[in-house]
Amino acid sequence: MAAKLIKGAEVAAQIREELKKEVEELKAKHNLVPGLVTILVGQDPGSISYVTAKQKTSHELGFYSIQDNQEPDITEAALLALLDKYNKDPKIHGILVQLPLPKHIDSNKVLYGINPDKDVDAFHPVNVGRILIGNYAFLPCTPAGCQELIYRAYGDPKGKEVVVVGRSNIVGKPMVAIMLQKRVGANATVTCVHTGTPKDKMIEHCRRADILIVAAGVPNYIQADWVKEGVCVIDVGVNRIGMTESGKAKLAGDVDFAAVSEKASFITPVPGGVGPMTITMLMKNTVMAAKMAAGLVKL
């Protein structure tokens, strides 16, 4: 294999070390303890495992951390009232509502009920707007993780050709907004291709890319003859393509890993690439939110 593997868990561990030191400094110098509440509605096993992992990491980093469990029949009004309590709580700097929510609750209404300065998932329109404007404190966790992987493995994308495959609100569109800013870790020429792009153009664009970020949701979509030698490939796809013999989900990315990794200079594996970064980016956002609340960072 020609490409160097970008191992998300290793980069994430490095960032958590940096955050741990920063949290110690914030405590020592400013008596500031980042506070995170994760709100879980119901008992979905997947959701429980996600919030448990988030709580575990926030404890390890020395945060003030609350796991708030709510019954699945909580009303939308009661959930909004709960958010309001945390919006006003000066010890809480980050509020995360674990998705999905039960069907009787309007998820957007709930997400938009979080104080934008505590919206560490960065899904609130105010935060999306701040990102496009280029004056932001934190970024949605998945594209932020992609940016860190690129910057720390491949180097500064400044002046490079970045091609983003996909235009979801969770990955593709914020990724475009992030990479075209005049900031360190960005300042790239950015092209976004998507389901509206004709196939021949899709392939042409992928072939031009110095950095190819793929969030298409189609297993093994990107072929080896679609990429140029030396490309840096960030594969955001997580597709279930069957079961392993032991009954676990078998995962594939959006990139034909075996073939593409022969041509790429850097590539993220699936699993083990982008995935392990997201919780760490949530922690980074919470530290940033705490610093904003304390006036140590200003927008």
Interacting residues toward a copy of itself by CB under 8 A: 124-134, 158-159, 161, 167, 169, 173-174, 176-177, 180-182, 187-198, 201, 205
Cβ at position 100, least distance to a copy of itself in Å? 18
Cβ at position 221, least distance to a copy of itself in Å? 16
**162 vs 283 by CB, closer to a copy of itself:** 162
Buried/exposed code over 161-183 (b: 16+ C-beta within 10 A; e: otherwise)? bbbbbbbbebbbbbbbbbbbbee
60: number of CA atoms within 13 Å, CB side?
15
**46 vs 198 by CB, closer to a copy of itself:** 198
Task: Give one DSSP letter per residue of 4-30, joined into a string.
Answer: EE--HHHHHHHHHHHHHHHHHHHHHHH
For residue 201, what are its two tokens? Answer: 């153009």
Cβ at position 131, least distance to a copy of itself in Å? 8
Nearest residue to 141 via CA among 164, 123, 168, 117: 123
Q: If you search the block for the tokens 């992992």, which residue do you land on?
A: 53
Cite the active site residues. 54, 98, 121
**181 vs 268 by CB, closer to a copy of itself:** 181
Helices (H), 168-295: 172-179, 199-208, 257-260, 278-293
Q: If you search the block for the tokens 């392993």, which residue do you land on?
A: 244
* Cα(65)–Cα(58) distance, integer angstroms: 7
Decide: helix, strand or coil at residue 66: strand
Q: Answer for the pair 232, 264: CB distance below 8 angstroms, yes or no.
A: yes
CA 122 vs. chain centroid, Å, equals 9
Cβ at position 226, least distance to a copy of itself in Å? 15
* Cα(180)–Cα(175) distance, integer angstroms: 9
* Cα(101)–Cα(114) distance, integer angstroms: 15
Task: Give one DSSP letter per residue of 236-254, joined into a string.
Answer: ---EEEEE-TTSPEEEE-S
**32 vs 206 by CB, closer to a copy of itself:** 206
